[in-house]
Amino acid sequence: MLKKILSAILCSVLVVAMAVPVFAVAASNQTIYAYAGSSGCGVLNRYGSGAIAAGQTISIYPYLQNSPDQKWNLLDAGNGNNYIVISSKPSLALNLYGVPVNPGASQMKLAYPCTLQPYTAYPSDTTIRLEGSPSSRYFWLTKNNLGYYYLRADRSAVSSTSDVLWFQSASALNDKWKIGAGY
């Protein structure tokens, strides 16, 4: 219970803090945090403990200052594309793992896990394009090929831990991301 209250307080503080800066990010080597949803309480986070490694999954988790699990870099992949790599191990990027979590679903509703993998080995599963506008304060993270998969925090409430999956359509609030340099 105490943990939930603390999470709620932290989330409220972060929402207020987020109201100040608006970040415009273009492809580069910038260090970023990616905030999920329009209210943006949680950030893109390496799920698990111990050493960061290929194959690990991605979650949303409340912002923790200087956590190596939450610090990412946007690498320029050329032609308007990017890789989103984890800062302490920049060979590893956000990746679409090719086994769906809901294999019986129709093609449009298939969802794929977001994991960490070397982008050099799997460029087609790690190349991402950012869309949107800084004034609307969010970004769409778009898979550049394979039918445009979008990165989604797969819960309606994104204020706590949440799975991050790739979906083929973008319509939900949880497909929106804000990118900033931290607090």
Partner 1 sequence: MKKLIILIICTFFFTACAKEQASIDIPIEQKGLEIICNPLFAYPLQSSNKNGMYETSDRGDGSYSLSYLDFETKQNLYLCSQPNCAHDNENCTAYLMTGGSEVYPMATDNELLLQYIGNENEFNKTKNKIYLPHIEMLTSQGTEKKTIVEFSPEEFIFGAYAYNGEVLCYLSTISNQDDFTVYDEQSVYCTNVTTGKTTRLVKAGPNEKILIYGALNDELIIKKTITPDIKTLQGEDIYQQMYELTEFELIRFNVYTKEEQLIMKYGADEYIDIIWDNYWFGLKTLDNGEQSLEKMDLLNNKRTTILPKMPSSDSEYFLSRIIDNQLLINGSPKRGISREEFRFAVDINNGKTKNISTKALANGTIRPLNIVAQSKDSLVVEVGTKEINVKTKGQDGTLTNYKKLVAERAFVSKHDYLNSSENYTFVNYLE
Count how many residues are written for the chain: 183
Residues in contact with partner 1, shown as a per-residue x/- string from 3 to 32 under the rule CB under 8 A: -----------------xxxxxxxxxxxxx
Binding residues with partner 1: total (CB under 8 A): 61
Is 48 an interacting residue with respect to partner 1 (CB under 8 A)?
no
| Residue whose C-alpha is closest to residue 74's, from 25, 1, 146, 118 | 25
| For partner 1, the closer CB: 154 or 166 | 166
Choose between 14 and 130: whose C-beta lies nearer to partner 1: 130
Torsion of CA 30, 71, 43, 169, to 10 degrees: 60
- Toward partner 1, which CB reaches closer, 73 or 159? 73
Structure token pair of residue 57: 């999954």
Q: How far is the CB of 1 from partner 1 (least distance, A)?
A: 31
Of 118 and 160, the one with the shorter C-beta distance to partner 1 is 118
Half-sphere exposure of 62 (CA within 13 A, CB side): 15
d(CA 6, CA 91): 34
Question: Hey, which residues between 87 and 146 contact partner 1 (CB under 8 A)?
Answer: 87-91, 95, 97-99, 107, 112, 117-118, 120-125, 130-136, 144-146
Q: d(Cα 18, Cα 10) in Å, to the nearest integer?
A: 12
